[in-house]
Amino acid sequence: MSVRARPLSTAQAESFVRDGFVGPVDVLTPAEVAATRQAVAEVIARLPALSTQLYEVEHAYTERPGEVVCHFLGGWRVHPALAALVRHPRAVAMAAQLLDAPTVRFWHDQVFAKPPRHPGVVPWHQDYSYWTRTAPACHLTINILLDDADEASGCVQFVPGSHRWGLLPRLPFDAPLEAIRAHLPAGAAWRPVPVPVRAGQATIHHSHTLHGSDQNRSERWRRAAVLNYMGGHVRVADGSTPLLRGAPLLPTGALVEGPWFPLVWPSADG
């Protein structure tokens, strides 16, 4: 598939810089959505057996699946369809355009899955609060919806401009939705914007943009396959433990590199 090296319009790229997010943007075809949905369902069905091969399965979800959103990292290590997504031509071209870096590296993937009528929320957070073991901050997140998502089903919400608020504390995944509000900088304007997205479309956000999502009050699933990328120059800021479970130990100061963190841009299509 041939994809333009700069697939987003100037207005879309400007909205990412100004607001800290952009979307919805088109990423997957209907056939790719179906294949990714199937892959996610297969991994979820085998989560206990696969958990040691994944980077992480949300602990609170394992203990209380009826209350906490299903969330895991590292699906690309266990399912070929999720591995193929990592180098999706449109996704990597959009990451390169918005990171404005000559090379782009895959950091990790995630899945968030909310069954119909499920009370789990994703509390407001900034992704980089989970990623300080890598630096500098030059990361972004592509959140690809596998189902149509709207406010009723708990689509992702963003606070425009919050990527300029500095790094806020990291709160537990099973914290109340708005727990972060006790930690906002003085004068910060709390004006969340929900972004309804159709299956196959995505939102893309900066590593410091505050975002979260509410309960799924609908009768539909709300699943997202998430791709996290970083500039190819990002280094290990804390080499005391592997950056991700099972990944080789890299020393502090080394480039984050190797087969676990492949360069995806420039790509063969780029």
Ligand X SMILES: O=C(O)CCC(=O)C(=O)O
Residues 40 to 69 in contact with ligand X, rule: CB under 6 A: none
Site string for ligand X, 185-214 (x = CB under 6 A): --------------------------x-x-
Q: Judged by CB, which is closer to ligand X: 69, or 104?
A: 69
- Return the residue nearest ligand X (CB atom): 213
Q: Which of residues 148-167 bind ligand X (CB under 6 A)?
A: 156
Smaller CB distance to ligand X: residue 97 or 141? 141
Size of the site for ligand X (CB under 6 A): 10
- Give the whole-angstrom CA distance, residue 172 versus residue 230: 24
Contacts of 226 (CB under 8 A, 6+ apart): 109, 110, 111, 112, 141, 142, 143, 144
Instruction: Mention every residue, 6+ apart, whose C-beta is less than 8 A from residue 174.
Output: 60, 64, 67, 68, 123
Here the tokens at position 255 are 């480039």
Residue 227 lies near ligand X (rule: CB under 6 A):
no
Distance of closest approach, residue 151 Cβ to ligand X, in angstroms: 12
Q: What would the x/- binding string for ligand X be over residues 114 to 143, using CB under 6 A?
A: --------x----x-------------x-x
Q: Is 224 in the site for ligand X (CB under 6 A)?
A: yes
Q: Which is nearer to ligand X, 176 or 253 (CB)?
A: 176
Residue 161: CA count within 13 A, CB half-sphere: 8
- Residue 101 main-chain phi, psi, to 5 deg: -120, 145
- H or E stretch covering 24: strand 21-26
Sign of the CA dihedral with 144 first, then 145, 151, and 153 last: negative
Collapsing DSSP to helix, strand or coil, 3 comes out as coil
Q: Does 244 bind ligand X (CB under 6 A)?
A: no
Q: List residues binding ligand X (CB under 6 A).
A: 112, 122, 127, 141, 143, 156, 211, 213, 224, 226
